[in-house]
Structure 1
Amino acid sequence: MLKGLIFDVDETLVYYDGYDHREWYENWVMPALRKHNIELDYETYKKTVTGELPRSYVERFGIDYVEFWKLVDEVNLEYRRKMAEMGRIKPFPDVDALGELKEMGLKLAAVSNASQECTEFVLDLFGLRKYFDVVYGKDYSNLDGVKPNPYLVEKALKALGLKPEEAIVVGDSTHDVLAAHRAGMKAVNVTRFGKVEGADYYVSDLWELVGLIKELKGENKTQSP
């Protein structure tokens, strides 16, 4: 029986008006790295984020990789605070659907590749934190455990006390789908920015997700002896 949902945060629950990943890196992160005498071009950085290169790769630039990612995350938090001041972080208009899902008795988790502080910051910004039983950002003890690695999803499952077949991952990206499948779970792709390959279900928004979950829970009931 379906008992829980594990949500991605950025681009699933909230979005950043005018955000460009390369621009963010070159205008915000690179100046901070240069203060520490680190030169790391965008393409190489991107490969460490997508998992093409391990996050420890940056150690060849003479900095402890955990400290490197903490530095990047500090910059990211500063960026998010600035964007919030400018009104450029926005919740999708359907986030109220989280309340409906909660009322259905589901356990909810939020899991993000951003840091714990960055993740909690945007959830708190719009009063979304109250909907979630657990919230997990990247774990500095396992930096390569970010999605598409199943580590964070499995961590959330354990905290919710659920088995893989009792929860579904909800997200916007291929990384969310892969993390779900690698954890032995099904994935719902919210197609705000187009469909991604391999998801088990597709919904256009969170209200459509509510309908899907009601349908799935109904199917579970009819299948019960």
Structure 2
Amino acid sequence: MLRGLIFDVDETLVYYEGYDHREWYEKWVMPALRERGIELDYETYKKTVTGELPRSYVERFGIDHVEFWKIVDGVNLEYRMWMADKGKIKPFPDVNVLGELKELGLKLGAVSNASPECTEFVLDLFDLRRYFEVVYGKDYSNLDGVKPSPYLVEKALNALGLEPEEALMVGDSRHDVLAGKRAGMKVVNVTRFGEIEGADYYVKGLWELVELIRKML
């Protein structure tokens, strides 16, 4: 019996107009790291984000890894505020279906690899926070617990009192699919940016998701 949904946030519910990961890192993050005497090129940074290297890898540059990620996340929050000010963070036009999903009696959670502050900021920006009973960003006590690890997803399931088979993971990326699968869930891939192999269901947007769920219920 389906009782809940765990959503990814960025690129599933909201998007960032003109965002480029490399440009963000080189223009925003690198100067903040240089201020602290840290030189870390984009390619190495990217490997820590994709999980090729552990988050603690950065300690070889002479900084505690928790402190490092707090610097990055502080910069990311500043960047999001700047983007919001410019009107460049936008909700997808179908996010209002979250209200319909609540009306169907489903418990909703949100998980993001961004920091809790960054995640709450974008949800609050469009008054989406009210739909979710739990929202989790990266956990500084377990920095390698970000997706594709199932850690954050399992944390949300536990907080919602749901078994993996009672909920669906909804996201746009390979990390979302892997995290959901590793948590023992079925996964819905929202194919706004193309299909990700390994999902159980594919929907073009959130209206299609509601149709899928109505059939399941």
Deviation at 1:216, TM superposition (A): 1.2
1:127-172 CA-partner distances (Å, limit 9, x unpaired): 0000000000000000000000000000000000000000010000
Equivalent pairs, count: 217
Q: Any residues of structure 2 matched to 1:82-101 within 5 Å, and which? A: 82-101=82-101
1:82-140 CA-partner distances (Å, limit 9, x unpaired): 00000000000000000000100000001000000000000000000000000000000
3-state SS in 1 of match to 2:197: coil
Structure 1 residue 201 corresponds to structure 2 residue 205: no
1:64-94 CA-partner distances (Å, limit 9, x unpaired): 0000000000000000000000000000000
1:122 equivalent in structure 2: 122
Alpha-carbon distance in 2 for matches of 1:22, 1:58: 18
Structure 2 residue ranges without an equivalent (≥5): none
Q: Any residues of structure 2 matched to 1:128-143 within 5 Å, and which? A: 128-143=128-143
Alpha-carbon distance in 1 for matches of 2:128, 2:35: 35
The amino acid of 1:52's aligned partner reads E
Alpha-carbon distance in 1 for matches of 2:95, 2:203: 14
The amino acid of 1:2's aligned partner reads L
Structure 1 residue 62 corresponds to structure 2 residue 62: yes
Alpha-carbon distance in 2 for matches of 1:62, 1:186: 41
**Cα RMSD, aligned residues only:** 0.3
Alpha-carbon distance in 2 for matches of 1:17, 1:179: 26
| Structure 1 segments of 4+ aligned residues over 2 angstroms from their partners | none
3-state SS in 2 of match to 1:127: coil
Q: Any residues of structure 2 matched to 1:1-225 within 5 Å, and which? A: 1-217=1-217
Alpha-carbon distance in 1 for matches of 2:35, 2:70: 15
State the identity %.
82
Give TM-score, length-normalised by structure 2. Answer: 1.00
Alpha-carbon distance in 2 for matches of 1:152, 1:56: 18
